[in-house]
Structure 1
Amino acid sequence: MKVVSTGATELRKVFTTEQLQDIFRSYMVGLKKAYIVGIAMVGMMFLAAFGNIFYDWKEINAAKAAKKKGESENQNNEFGERREI
């Protein structure tokens, strides 16, 4: 707890050289793990965002196709007769 309560600039004044080596080593291990977790979370959010976009495009295209099909079936020719496509 002494490491946490001591500021980063005062570590060299409070601890010995041997202790500082262990403190810095632990600090680097903690930083690496924090970066790994952060990068993994960004990757998952990236995949989730693009998965959602592609899913929405699928629904939008299906809705457009259904709408076009409905419009083309309801069209009449110039004589007022219904034509089927």
Structure 2
Amino acid sequence: MDITYIPMKRGFLYLVAIMDRHSRAALAWRLSNTMDTYFCVAALEEAINRYGASEIFNTDQGSQFTSSRETLRDAGIRIFMDGRGGGWITS
């Protein structure tokens, strides 16, 4: 899962994509004009509903992703976060 910024005339659009690491297929995506957490969680819920729960979910430590921990835990998915201080999230 990652977010990219799309420059527009007046600011940015934010695209979150959830990809399967093995096949590189996009499982779900959302666009937003704000960096809130809702569109990230909505994309995550769609991916889980369409394809089922994976064993591991990998993201960076951005606030949009850390807010999705509850959704991942409820689905029984282990969380791994990249970056400084990253690693397996157990709580």
TM-score bin (small chain)? under 0.3
Higher relative contact order (CA 8 A, sep 6+): 2
**TM (normalized to structure 2)?**
0.20
**TM (normalized to structure 1)?**
0.21
**Structure showing the higher helix proportion among its residues:** 1
